Structure 1
Amino acid sequence: MPAIIRILICLALCLPAFAQALPPPCNSGRVFEDRDGDGHWSRGDRPLPGILVSDGLRLVRSNAGGEYSLPWDDGRTTFVIKPAGYAFPTGDDGLPAFWRNQQYHDGPALKFGGVPAASPACRDFALTRAKATRTPLDVLVFADPQAKTAAQVDYYDRDIIAPLVEAAGGRPAAALGLTLGDVANDDLSLYPALKAATARLRTPWLHAAGNHDLDFDASTDEDSLRSFRHAFGPDTFAWEEAQASFILLDDVIYRPGGKPAYIGGLREEQFTWLAAYLDTLPRDRRLVIGAHIPFFDEPGRETFRRADRERLFALLAPFGKVLLLSGHGHVQRHHYHGAADGWNGRAPLHEYNVGAACGGYWGGAADAQGLPDARMADGTPNGYASLRIDDAGDYALRWHAARRGDEALSLHAPKVLRRGHWPGVGLFANVYMGEADTRVEVRIDAGEWQPMPRVDAADPALLAENLLDDLATTLRGYDRLPEAAVSTHLWRFNLPTDLAAGEHVFEVRAFDRWRGEIRASGAYRLVDATE
């Protein structure tokens, strides 16, 4: 027999032995209280029984020794649902270390890397006792940072992060932070820089996935968040604080080759996981559901699959305290779901569609610091929201316009009018957190307060910027502001022209559901004129 044949036969016979020598993948380990803070199970540490561990489909509890075991399922992510009163250590990327990806064999080749194959060794999860914090719980909520260049990462850092860091004075900026998708704008190589900026807040931060966080070269929806999961962990998971359970959902269904390429909805395994997790919770528990695409439909078209919404709402209906948070729209809106949306709970279900951190896609003319105007299409300044939840599960929401202090509304009015002119020129009040029933009033020269009617119209201040962009012969910014769209939180009042010539002060007050009375003021002049 030729020597080469003998060598090939020998190698073939040896291959099973080599394969058996490879360590089998392991999806077991221990959840423990890390009393010495070294990140490893050691003498003096305490096993934590009853802790929920999941792979996004199955849900198990750690046993009396803190041990858990799940089947190895290549491509999934194993994570621990943080129990109230505990904290995870911070990973090298500044984010809480509560997960690990299961990837024993190479996954699909993707432009942004996907999930690389890694060691299949067993994994322990460390927790520490959380420091006693004041109640209520303060949460920062970002939507759509959506940076597409390194310059826009810098905008995010200077416009959103830096003021929060300064205000925190070396302390964590909040007890918890959420980003509701579109962390980047298709260029997922920016994730490390974006994570580094967010980590400066020294706050446990959780991320939902958006339609601009997809691997667009993936051939299936199941593979479309591999690069996101390599950077941020599970796409559907829960996190528990004393005041509430937070559930973040991937609600972007990717449809390669389809038009549109995605739609809002949930996968079958997400319903399986969510039903199992909700069964572990008391029905009076406050639930905060965070996702990217709004659960309501845009006018005239299905943007979230109705059947999925009805299934989700059926699971949530037994709970009396549910708040939905979403992003995606680059506007600020409140929506109250009822029977028409498939919600049959005891009271309407509140969804707060959070404005974007990038506002109008980091567009508009730059200020003296080189930061773009970034207003959204409804006239709301870019920024972020805060959510406060008390021990009873009651909540308060607030919008923070980037670098604008406590500004809660903006006014637009003419500077000068002819005295005696037809009184049909409007003063507009854009109340950023306004709802359909928000009371907004105006008074002129400290007179009687009068109601301002809400109108379905575009913010004239943004319309003016659109016209300036049209008339400019050179670019006013790298990108324009978005075209003004109908705002859901705009009020109008006809300025009187039958007053004395001279300056007249107008004051506007609105009654915010959570902040109470908020005010802004301005002035216009009346002048006499002859033809």
Structure 2
Amino acid sequence: MLSFPSRKHSSLRVALTALTTLAVAGGAAAIPTTSTATPNAAPKSWDETAYRGQVEVVRTPEGPADTEYLTGRVFVDQDRDSASDRRERGLDGVVVSNGRDVVTTDRHGRYRLPAYDNMTVFITQPAGYQVPVDESNVAQFHYNHLPEGSPELRYGGIAPTGPLPDAVNFPLVRSQLTRAQEQHCVIAGDLQTYDRTEVEYARQGAINDLAGRRDYQGCGTLFIGDVVGDDLSLYPDVKDLTSLTNGPARFLPGNHDLDFDSATAEHAFDTFRAQMAPAYYSYDVGDVHIVALNTVRYPCTPDVDNADGRRPECDDPENSPRYNGRLDENQLAWLEQDLAAVDDDKLVVVAGHIPLLTFADEGSAIHQVDQVREVYELLEGREAVSVAGHTHSIENMRTGDLVQGWQDLFGVEGLPFPHITAGAISGDWYSGELTENGYPVAVGRDGGRPGLLTLDIRGDSFRERYTVTGESDRVQTQLGINSPTYRDWYAERQAWNDNPEGAAPELGDPHVVIREDLAGQTWLTTNFWMGSTGSTVEVEIDGRRAGEATRTQEMRGEDQLIGPEWSDPHAVAQQLVHGGSVADRTMHLWRFELPADLGTGRHRAEVTATDAHGREYTDVLHFRVVDQP
């Protein structure tokens, strides 16, 4: 079991008042010297426990008595046939929404919602119950209503649904897995496969890792956008991947899941909605309420998105359509009502593709969410964490952290709760050399490696855990040497890449240090992927007394520090040679200046990285000092 500090909260439930009345129905592997709290394996396989089924849509020739409202029932599906029988009881207090209005079911499990011509109706899975999953493990908890279907779209969109059904009934089964106080929620960033070759990269990489894990059966996996890379015909291939996982699979949309031929934002995610999930929704497990938001608006427009002049990319949607990080009015209204139904003592996980705020793109308005302050106000006083993707980097930002762009663009004076950018399954878009395991190295723009984020949760407390693809949870750091020789090569190689004439400049052995470089600021670098404010890194060389490394980006309101002296040399040595982004900035890099009196010959550096939770990881780098290059 995980060990977390206890915390007392009131457990009053906020009533939905008027809305409720509607309801009538690097070096060596890092080794932790403190437990990383690897979760206990579940006693049964997912295939033995999975509840497979679908939402029940009831139609009769007469149609509903009142076409202004959709009605239905949330019921406990005792015989697991997805059909509502009289002997199967309705479940009261379940939250149901049409994406605008939010109601709760009455004592018979019944609900009643206003009907709109283009809406997705969905339930919030209550803790202690499980919605059905299909054969691909994709959660089934919603119904799309679009009578005439989508406008003509390349990838099909939503087929005509016809008139309003007589009822839409949502089946559930009891679940100890979702009731448990201890949950392990996998947050999967940017799968982003552009073709079937990349689908296979994902299968051999992170999906293979998930297939070998059994700790996330209750919470499942949330794929936080850019599920594919523009080619929406690959959604069936993605479902083939999720069929290999061991828990419910849920999805939210990213800017590469768009119907780019949609003329308006209203239909920009129709194919995603038809094949994967609602554009936004929520669900509960244990003491956790997870909100999956659509943080992408496409096409953005000057009147809505650039009224303040900070998003000129949105000024010509007809000839140059772009996206922007934004919640539409319906979603924001839904979010307020959704959170009003959540007990004060629950942890709220706010997930979106484009982050509320990010370090990587801290100076860009379109790559962060316009209404970040409104979201903060809705979450005020709650235990919360934001998780996101989009940037293909790993960021573990804690309460109080601040960089200049957040102040300049949004007037934010510090994070009110932790924000985590989850990295990416695709890493740096499947770039770089192929590993022996059959997928690319794909080192990210922050020097991070592809992988998966897990929130290890007990009650309303959590610990974040990043698992590098193909590695154990012990691998948390990457070591390198940043010397004047390296920085000179960085500049020369970058110039050659821009104009490749003659022989390419070669770095040589990155773990060899020229003696004269020791007098010119040579650092041992530690890229600590889940490192954050409150983390420490200590370096011991050749058994000498350990010294403390310095974090390059303090997150205290400064601007980004960019360039070779702030880079991860281990990552850059691969990226400038084999392609991909260049790790010239990161918020989780520590530097330790090598002593100028190191003798010629071999040396051993032992690095101990301690995260904000007190977990320690040890990594070792061997390097050599030489008199001449």
TM range (shorter): 0.7 to 0.9
Q: 1:425 to 1:157 in 2, by over 3 A?
A: same
Residue 328 of structure 2 is aligned to residue 267 of structure 1: yes
Aligned structure 1 segments of 4 or more residues deviating by more than 6 angstroms: none
> Distance in 2 between the 1:178 and 1:247 partners?
11
Question: Map of 1:270-281 to 2, 5 A cutoff?
Answer: 270-281=331-342
Give 1:286's aligned amino acid.
L
The one of 433, 454, 462 aligned to 2:551: 454
TM-score in terms of structure 2 length: 0.74
Unaligned runs of 5+ in 2: 1-59, 301-315, 482-509, 553-560
**Which residue in 1 is equivalent to 2:592?**
493
Would the aligned equivalents of 2:533 and 2:612 in 1 still touch at CA under 8 Å? no
**Which residue in 2 is equivalent to 1:521?**
620
Q: Please, which moves more after superposition, 245-254 or 514-523?
A: 514-523
**Which residue in 2 is equivalent to 1:165?**
211
Q: Secondary structure at the match of 2:602?
A: strand
**How far off is 1:141 after superposition?**
0.6
**How far off is 1:91 after superposition?**
2.1
Q: 1:30 to 1:370 in 2, by over 3 A?
A: same
Would the aligned equivalents of 1:27 and 1:71 in 2 still touch at CA under 8 Å? yes
Q: 1:342 to 1:239 in 2, by over 3 A?
A: farther
Q: 1:369 to 1:422 in 2, by over 3 A?
A: closer
Would the aligned equivalents of 2:204 and 2:438 in 1 still touch at CA under 8 Å? no
Question: Map of 1:75-90 to 2, 5 A cutoff?
Answer: 75-90=118-133
Q: 1:344 to 1:223 in 2, by over 3 A?
A: same
Would the aligned equivalents of 1:101 and 1:233 in 2 still touch at CA under 8 Å? no
Encode CA deviations 1:135-178: one digit per residue, 9 max, x unaligned. Answer: 4111101111110001111111110011221243xx86563221
Q: Which has the higher contact order (CA 8 A, sep 6+)?
A: 2
Question: Map of 1:93-492 to 2, 5 A cutoff?
Answer: 93-118=136-161, 120-121=164-165, 122-132=167-177, 135-168=181-214, 175-255=219-299, 257-258=316-317, 261-296=322-357, 298-303=361-366, 308-317=371-380, 319-335=381-397, 336=399, 340=407, 341=410, 348-391=416-459, 393-405=460-472, 406-413=474-481, 414-418=510-514, 422-423=518-519, 424-455=521-552, 456=561, 457-469=566-578, 480-492=579-591
Q: Please, which moves more after superposition, 131-140 or 182-191?
A: 131-140
Q: 1:467 to 1:32 in 2, by over 3 A?
A: closer
> Distance in 2 between the 1:326 and 1:172 partners?
19
Residue 107 of structure 2 is aligned to residue 64 of structure 1: yes
Give 1:89's aligned amino acid.
P
Give 1:412's aligned amino acid.
G
Q: Secondary structure at the match of 1:211?
A: coil
**How far off is 1:305 after superposition?**
7.1
Q: Secondary structure at the match of 2:176?
A: coil
> Distance in 1 between the 2:182 and 2:234 partners?
34
Encode CA deviations 1:421-473: one digit per residue, 9 max, x unaligned. Answer: 6443322111111124421110111221101112241211222123324xxxx
Give 2:439's aligned amino acid.
L
Q: Please, which moves more after superposition, 302-311 or 97-106?
A: 302-311
TM-score in terms of structure 1 length: 0.87
> Distance in 2 between the 1:128 and 1:421 partners?
66
> Distance in 2 between the 1:85 and 1:344 partners?
38
Encode CA deviations 1:166-218: one digit per residue, 9 max, x unaligned. Answer: 243xx865632211110011001101111221232131122111111111100
Q: 1:438 to 1:161 in 2, by over 3 A?
A: same
Unaligned runs of 5+ in 1: 1-19, 470-479
Would the aligned equivalents of 2:325 and 2:369 in 1 still touch at CA under 8 Å? no
Larger Rg: 1
Would the aligned equivalents of 2:100 and 2:331 in 1 still touch at CA under 8 Å? yes
**How far off is 1:508 after superposition?**
0.7
Give 1:507's aligned amino acid.
E
Would the aligned equivalents of 1:313 and 1:343 in 2 still touch at CA under 8 Å? no
Q: Secondary structure at the match of 1:185?
A: coil
Would the aligned equivalents of 2:135 and 2:243 in 1 still touch at CA under 8 Å? no
Q: 1:435 to 1:504 in 2, by over 3 A?
A: same
Would the aligned equivalents of 1:379 and 1:484 in 2 still touch at CA under 8 Å? yes
Q: Secondary structure at the match of 2:287?
A: coil
> Distance in 1 between the 2:173 and 2:247 partners?
15
Q: 1:255 to 1:314 in 2, by over 3 A?
A: same
**How far off is 1:94 after superposition?**
2.1
> Distance in 2 between the 1:284 and 1:333 partners?
26
Encode CA deviations 1:482-503: one digit per residue, 9 max, x unaligned. Answer: 2333111111223235344432
Q: Please, which moves more after superposition, 72-81 or 286-295?
A: 72-81
Give 1:396's aligned amino acid.
R
**How far off is 1:296 after superposition?**
2.0
> Distance in 2 between the 1:361 and 1:251 partners?
21
Residue 602 of structure 2 is aligned to residue 503 of structure 1: yes
> Distance in 1 between the 2:614 and 2:231 partners?
38
**How far off is 1:343 after superposition?**
6.0
Q: 1:101 to 1:124 in 2, by over 3 A?
A: same
> Distance in 1 between the 2:90 and 2:338 partners?
22
> Distance in 1 between the 2:232 and 2:448 partners?
27
Would the aligned equivalents of 1:100 and 1:233 in 2 still touch at CA under 8 Å? no
Q: Please, which moves more after superposition, 508-517 or 256-265?
A: 256-265
**How far off is 1:527 after superposition?**
4.2
Would the aligned equivalents of 1:30 and 1:123 in 2 still touch at CA under 8 Å? yes
Would the aligned equivalents of 2:254 and 2:353 in 1 still touch at CA under 8 Å? yes
Q: 1:251 to 1:306 in 2, by over 3 A?
A: closer
> Distance in 1 between the 2:550 and 2:382 partners?
33
Give 2:118's aligned amino acid.
G
Give 2:204's aligned amino acid.
R
> Distance in 2 between the 1:511 and 1:504 partners?
23
**How far off is 1:62 after superposition?**
1.8
Cα RMSD between the aligned structures? Answer: 2.5
Encode CA deviations 1:2-52: one digit per residue, 9 max, x unaligned. Answer: xxxxxxxxxxxxxxxxxx978467832211111122221225311112211
**How far off is 1:96 after superposition?**
1.6
Give 1:363's aligned amino acid.
S
Give 1:118's aligned amino acid.
T
Would the aligned equivalents of 1:418 and 1:497 in 2 still touch at CA under 8 Å? no
Would the aligned equivalents of 2:443 and 2:575 in 1 still touch at CA under 8 Å? no
Q: Secondary structure at the match of 2:571?
A: helix
> Distance in 1 between the 2:295 and 2:231 partners?
20
Q: How many residues align?
A: 496
Percent of paired sites with the same residue: 30
